[in-house]
Amino acid sequence: MAEQKKSVAIVGAGIFGLSLAIALNERNYKVTVFDQNRYDQDAYEPGDDRLQVASIDHNKIFRASYGTKEHYQRLAMESREVWISEDEKRKNAGDEEIFNGCGMLRVQPSDKLGALERETLVNMERNGLLDKQFVKSDMEDRKRARGMGWEAKLLDFQIPEDPQGKTYEAVLDSLAGFTKCSAACVYYQKTAAAKGVAFHVGHDEGAFDSLIEVDSTIETGKTKVTGLKTKSGATHVADVVVIAGK
């Protein structure tokens, strides 16, 4: 007799909920995603609804520059590789890219590198990524940027009322860019559904109301979550409930 799949209910159909749903589905979990918005109808189109997931927007900056937070940098670089890989698949299918590696100019608050920027560059060097960073005032960096086709983006911004006409220091990060986040959510929602992930969406059927809890049989005085209830009054049993939102 085949072992019954463990079930996971995910509340939130933003990029965290969708990517988690796909990852768990590929690990043979039975996954159901809940969200109060009808993203299957509005295609994650940005609007005035404050209840929309944070993932919704036309685009968001992608960066791996996080000062001393090296773990964020590494996660960002891992995700960058995934976006590029996914875009290759989309390109072969005739779809537009989701990630645009156009770079990002990190303009400093003065004509010198700020503390956060110096910390970022230290971590970039530690991870072998310093050659992808170009400090505007560094002539060797400008030469490298010229050879790699990035120099035109090392822009000068005048410091207001500076008697010497100084410009703000800046660092061009050629690893950065932006993601078309609403398009990414649409892509992953369709991918998840095609893989067998179930969706309950809408103000009643998909809107989370409360957790279903029972007394724990392991720890006295504590409860165990066994599912969730939606605004429609329907109950959904699950081995694990994940709240994938803010």
Q: In sequence order, what are the beta bridge partners of 172?
A: 105, 134
* pTM of the predicted protein model: 0.84
15: closest CA among 179, 175, 203, 177?
179
- Helix runs in 48-201, H state only: 70-92, 115-126, 139-147, 181-194
Q: Which residue has the tokens 């993932």?
A: 55
**CATH number belonging to domain 1-57+178-245:** 3.50.50.60
Q: Distance (Å, rounded) from C-alpha 16 to C-alpha 21?
A: 8
For residue 51, name the pLDDT band (cuts at 50, 70, 90).
low
Domain coordinates of the chain in residue numbers? 1-57+178-245, 64-175
pLDDT at 151: 96
Q: Distance (Å, rounded) from C-alpha 50 to C-alpha 245?
A: 13
**Average pLDDT, stretch 86-107?**
94
Q: Lowest mean pLDDT of 1-10, 30-39, 123-132, 229-238, name the range.
A: 1-10
pLDDT in tens, 130-185: 999 999 999 999 999 999 999 999 999 999 999 999 999 999 999 999 999 999 99
